[in-house]
Amino acid sequence: MLVLLAAAAAPAGAQVQVSSPAVTVDQAYRPVNPRDPLVPATIFGDQKGAPGAARAAAPGVAKGSFTVYGLTLTGVLEDSRGRQALLRDQATGLLYTLKAGRLVDPNKKTVPGISGVIKGKQVILLTEDKKVHQINLREKE
């Protein structure tokens, strides 16, 4: 008797109507603001800053003012493209990147005359005049 009631309650050939089209994977997972996570956020994750305000570019490296002896090793990153070292200039607070043997300034320009190698938790920088400077990653205790 129960089987007959359940079968009688369900309409034959029920139709499902969809009011909106199905969302694709690209539409569902496209970020609204695809920003670089290594760039410090200014306002609500926006790289441009406040509306109407000009974004201040990182100051360039003045000839003769930059020295590798003022750099400290902040971290070493590794991904599918290789290893990168993050180096902070203690005098200016600017962040430099050592990747593929070249030192890159905050404006994404190669610093001339400086090359380097990443070995574990250590960076070895070479200058034009063949001077060697080793920087170790200091773990916080």
Backbone angles phi, psi at 117, to 5 degrees: -135, 140
- Written as one string, the DSSP assignment of 13-38 is T-----SSPPPPHHHHS--SS---TT
**2-26 confidence digits (pLDDT tens):** 555 555 555 667 787 777 888 887 7
Number of domain units in the chain: 1
64 belongs to a structural domain:
no
C-beta separation of 39 from 48 below 8 A: no
56 belongs to a structural domain:
no
118 belongs to a structural domain:
yes
**33-76 confidence digits (pLDDT tens):** 676 667 766 655 444 544 444 444 445 555 556 788 889 999 99
77 belongs to a structural domain:
yes
SS3 68: helix
97 belongs to a structural domain:
yes
pTM of the entire structure? 0.54
126 belongs to a structural domain:
yes
Distance separating alpha carbons of residues 18 and 14, to the nearest angstrom: 13
* Domain span holding position 123: 69-136
43 belongs to a structural domain:
no
45 belongs to a structural domain:
no
**78-135 confidence digits (pLDDT tens):** 888 889 999 998 888 889 999 999 999 988 899 998 999 999 889 999 988 889 999 9
Neighbours of 51 (CB within 10 A): 7
